[in-house]
Amino acid sequence: MLLKRESRPRHLDALGQLCIEGSEAANYLFQVPSDEEQAEQLRGVLQKIVHASEQSGRTEMPKVAAQLMELSEQLPSIAAADGLVSGFDRLLRLWEASRSGLF
């Protein structure tokens, strides 16, 4: 019999919350890439991620966020929206790795 592991709730810090917020916005923009208001909010989240990750001494996250900022300027392209979703997945993995002490 297989037992399911219960997922632990994430203890989010401010940077983690920004990554989750941005990921949700990117997923929405994948479905509705022409929503300029949501795209503008996403750009604001990305700027906050760059600032917060630089302040906390992370080196890779600001680079990824800057790349995502460039992609956000290419909306309403589906390819750009897909890149944003993938990029936020990467940001979340980097954030989780930093919390575990790997980086």
What are the pLDDT digits (tens) for 25-51? 999 999 999 999 999 999 999 999 999
Asked whether the predicted pLDDT for residue 18 surpasses 90, the reply is yes
Domains of the chain, by residue range, sit at 37-100
Report angle CA 22, 77, 25 to the nearest 5 degrees. 15
DSSP 59: S
For the segment 98-103, the average pLDDT, to the nearest whole number, is 72
Query: Mean pLDDT over all residues of the chain?
Result: 89
Q: State the alpha helices, DSSP H only, in the chain.
A: 14-31, 36-55, 60-72, 78-100
Burial per residue of 27-51, b for 16 or more beta-carbon CB atoms within 10 angstroms, e otherwise: ebbbeebebeebbebbbebbebbbe
pLDDT of residue 103: 56
